[in-house]
A and B are shown apart, each in its own frame.
Chain A
């Protein structure tokens, strides 16, 4: 059964001068216990999607034009603030990207972890603190450091505190926005392993937002590649990694240095992502795509099924 279903989500940011098209008709489905990887570059709309699910879209500028986000059959976009407060943390928790700004500098890390526990489990402070100590150990920080402030930790450790806060209430759905990007590989491996174990133990589903294709390959069941607000390829990890259909996916793979081979020169995707206030008329990747032709510049391709449960948005599927 699907725990989360996103249907035709279209989100813009209204600024004084123009409209930023952040998400364009995004549809995704997650079944219980599954890990879905969301891969894309900065500005592709990954974090916007996470914020929509959490109900944290900036109210002043963010506009949800169309779409539904069904969590356990109920549309999260119709919930009021009070209901969302209950859901956030206990049902759906989020690990934020930047540990430098997501922790409160004037509270000890123990207080910040305990806060989440007290808010949702309504337990005593002492109990919450012992839970906090447990969580700290779980993410690889000695429990003695419970009473230290964020500035006393390294960047990697701060991120582990953020992860501890998110996991403290055993959420059913975890949205991890680049959870290990700031961490070292050995710690990243430990943290991902820990998240996997926890996931299995509590049957948690995870939306793992990342740009690291290695992390996706090792941790996800399905993957969605997002480019300029659109899902360009979507399918099982094996399909997308082994039988990739979209030129952008291909470009991403060519950009990463290979650990197992001596490559003299990398092969990056030329240029930059298009300006989201002024997207190209046809396919949004056509400006950087080596295969683009007239049709690509004229019309926008649909997300089409290329084989069972494997979708790609390209006229020139291979």
Chain B
């Protein structure tokens, strides 16, 4: 697993718990991974599995409960506010919903300029330079220059998401958390935006953490994939390993649940039992055990660890032994 290159981002034992009236909510529980520069890590899982919280905890939009986040070898959780602000130029996020993540009272140009002004790269009074940069960013993400003074409500989802991307890229970041960037878009537009993100990655050498529930998107983009369930990482590997040889029962169920766009291939779905267990005050043992068809009594007793089954392919399941 150790590469001779140093990873751009390394997460060690990252935890984020939220206090709720009913007890602690284990949103992210002991997650470890690293991302090399220029690569894409896909994070998949169902809603509520903590994938968005993970993305936000890494950027300290939610302060992690414990753990370490190394960016270029430095633990950013020790950074003070000023240093953190400086760092945000390098770490950006593209939000899920282009309908709600843009300020409705800001025009396209204002939205793209806001991070530039906040970070002090341009002075707010320097209109000429700001405008030049805005148009440059709009060209980069394929937004027609004529919409420069439009408000978000005048634009369709694909264009709005391009604003979100332009905004994230304006500061020339190295690392971008993409939190479901295309899930609100139509397929033909989704393909356009995914291609755009791929092109940008190639041209600008970006590193992505791509959070999504759409497994086909993840296969297409990622260099490695993390599967999450109720705050924990259950499987990690290359797209080939995850898709061709899934080991964890949850990954298998997830893959079998994807509807295939071919009426002649009927799905053989692995039935998941029962309901989602609550991430509040979790019981020890495998969190997936309650829904798992293979679960045995031992599964609910021991805490599970990620085991390496083949080089680079990790799984946390009792029933998988090397």
For residues 194 through 232 of chain A, which have their beta carbon under 8 Å from a beta carbon of chain B?
A: 211-219
Which residue of A is nearest B187, CB measured? A255
**Residues on the A chain within 8 Å of B217, using CB:** 257
B257 lies within 8 A of A41 (CB):
no
B197-230 vs A: 1/0 string, CB under 8 Å? Answer: 0100000000000000111110110000000000
* A9 within 8 A of partner (CB): no
A246-265 vs B: 1/0 string, CB under 8 Å? Answer: 00000111111111101101
Q: Which of A154, A190, A237, A257 meets B263, CB within 8 Å?
A: A237
B264 lies within 8 A of A238 (CB):
yes
A265 lies within 8 A of B263 (CB):
no
**Residues on the A chain within 8 Å of B276, using CB:** 140
A255 lies within 8 A of B258 (CB):
no
A184 lies within 8 A of B213 (CB):
yes
* B94 within 8 A of partner (CB): no
Interface size on B, residues (CB 8 A): 43
* B46 within 8 A of partner (CB): yes
* A126 within 8 A of partner (CB): no
* A189 within 8 A of partner (CB): yes
Q: Which of A184, A216, A241, A266 meets B191, CB within 8 Å?
A: A266
* B101 within 8 A of partner (CB): no
Which residue of B is nearest A140, CB measured? B275
Looking at the assembled complex, report how far the CB atom of A10 sits from the nearest CB atom of chain B, in whole angstroms.
24
Q: How many A-B residue pairs have CB under 8 A?
A: 125
* B157 within 8 A of partner (CB): yes
* A142 within 8 A of partner (CB): yes
* A42 within 8 A of partner (CB): yes
Known: A217-B259, A253-B261, A272-B156. A258 touches B186 (CB 8 A): no
Q: How far is the CA of A154 from the CA of B189 in the complex (A)?
A: 26
**A142, A185, A211, A242, most chain B CB atoms within 10 A:** A185
Looking at the assembled complex, report how far the CB atom of A182 sits from the nearest CB atom of chain B, in whole angstroms.
8
* A70 within 8 A of partner (CB): no
* B190 within 8 A of partner (CB): yes
**B198, B220, B259, B267, most chain A CB atoms within 10 A:** B259
Looking at the assembled complex, report how far the CB atom of B245 sits from the nearest CB atom of chain A, in whole angstroms.
14
* B317 within 8 A of partner (CB): no
A42 lies within 8 A of B157 (CB):
yes
Q: How far is the CA of A141 from the CA of B198 in the complex (A)?
A: 38
Looking at the assembled complex, report how far the CB atom of A100 sits from the nearest CB atom of chain B, in whole angstroms.
9
**Residues on the B chain within 8 Å of A154, using CB:** 47-48
**Residues on the B chain within 8 Å of A192, using CB:** 259
Q: How far is the CA of A214 from the CA of B257 in the complex (A)?
A: 11
Q: Which of B47, B195, B259, B265 meets A155, CB within 8 Å?
A: B47
* A24 within 8 A of partner (CB): no
Known: A154-B48, A258-B216, A265-B198. A211 touches B187 (CB 8 A): yes
**Residues on the B chain within 8 Å of A268, using CB:** 188-192, 195
B189 lies within 8 A of A242 (CB):
no
A184 lies within 8 A of B46 (CB):
yes
A91-123 vs B: 1/0 string, CB under 8 Å? Answer: 000000000000000000000000000000000
**Residues on the A chain within 8 Å of B219, using CB:** 257, 259, 262
Q: How far is the CA of A192 from the CA of B156 in the complex (A)?
A: 29
**Residues on the B chain within 8 Å of A256, using CB:** 187, 191, 216, 261
Q: Which of A217, A242, A254, A255 meets B260, CB within 8 Å?
A: A217
**Residues on the B chain within 8 Å of A142, using CB:** 275
Known: A41-B189, A190-B272, A257-B219. A184 touches B47 (CB 8 A): yes
Which residue of B is nearest A269, CB measured? B188
For residues 152 through 208 of chain A, which have their beta carbon under 8 Å from a beta carbon of chain B?
A: 154-156, 184-190, 192-193
* A267 within 8 A of partner (CB): yes
Q: How far is the CA of A217 from the CA of B190 in the complex (A)?
A: 20
Q: Which of B47, B215, B261, B275 meets A141, CB within 8 Å?
A: B275
Q: How far is the CA of A188 from the CA of B219 in the complex (A)?
A: 20
**Residues on the B chain within 8 Å of A269, using CB:** 188, 191
B257 lies within 8 A of A189 (CB):
yes
Q: How far is the CA of A89 from the CA of B270 in the complex (A)?
A: 33
B118-130 vs A: 1/0 string, CB under 8 Å? Answer: 0000000000000
Q: How far is the CA of A213 from the CA of B188 in the complex (A)?
A: 12
* B72 within 8 A of partner (CB): no
Q: How far is the CA of A216 from the CA of B259 in the complex (A)?
A: 8
Please give 15 more A-B residue pairs, beta carbons under 8 A apart, in addition to A186-B46, A241-B261.
Answer: A142-B275, A185-B258, A189-B259, A193-B269, A212-B187, A214-B260, A251-B188, A254-B191, A255-B187, A256-B187, A257-B220, A260-B260, A266-B220, A268-B192, A268-B195
Among all A-B residue pairs, the 3 with the closest Cβ atoms: A214-B259, A268-B191, A184-B46
**Can you list 13 A-B pairs with a CB-CB distance of less than 8 A?**
A41-B189, A213-B261, A214-B258, A217-B262, A218-B260, A218-B266, A251-B188, A254-B191, A256-B261, A259-B215, A266-B191, A266-B220, A268-B190
